[in-house]
A = this chain, B = another copy of it.
Amino acid sequence: MSGPTLKEAQALIEAAQQRAFDLGKAVSVAVVDYGGYVVAVSRMDGARPMTPSIAISKAYSAAVMQRPTAMLKAWSNGDPVFFSQVARMGHQPIVATLGGYTLKRGDEILGGVGIAGGSAEEDEAIAKGVVEAAGWSTEFPAWAGARKEPNGNG
């Protein structure tokens, strides 16, 4: 399995929509697989037209960079030209902002979830909240660690 099932994606979306509703906000939620390909996207009535695209880019970034999008901010701030170039290397923009979380189970990266439509802090709180509540890992090293043996010799 190289991504969340549709059932898992729908559960994340419904949980995020409930949290947004409780905040009085209309958001878009996107869930993507390991490779950053869409599993499901949903825009609540009243959310702005661009929010699904923003949510997809957040979910994509968290999936292919394999850490929450908030962790990309130091890189983006510290080396903005290089970050901007890397940000165009995939099939969606890679964004360094709040509101995108990696879907990780143990050491396995299965995808990402992105929220757009609230304030940055609200998007982040919703994303982190639903990922934690659904039992996905929320611990990420600053950089990906190596497997036990180099070069696949082990």
A residues with CB within 8 A of B? 1-3, 5-10, 14, 17-18, 20-21, 23-26, 28, 33-50, 52-54, 57, 64-66, 76, 79-91, 93-97, 107-110, 117-120, 143-147, 149-153
Contacts and interface: CB of A to CB of B under 8 A. Distances in A.
A115 B127 CA distance: 28
B47 A14 contact: no
Contacts of A89: 50, 53-54, 57, 91, 93
Contact of A6 (B42, B84, B95, B107): B42
Contacts of A87: 85
Given A49-B33, A79-B120, A119-B143, A17 B95 contact: no
A88 B43 CA distance: 20
Contacts of A40: 40-43
A108 to B, nearest CB: 7
Most buried by B among A35, A64, A96: A35
Contacts of A88: 93
A131 B76 CA distance: 28
A6 B152 contact: yes
A94 B82 CA distance: 9
A35 B20 CA distance: 24
A43 B38 contact: yes
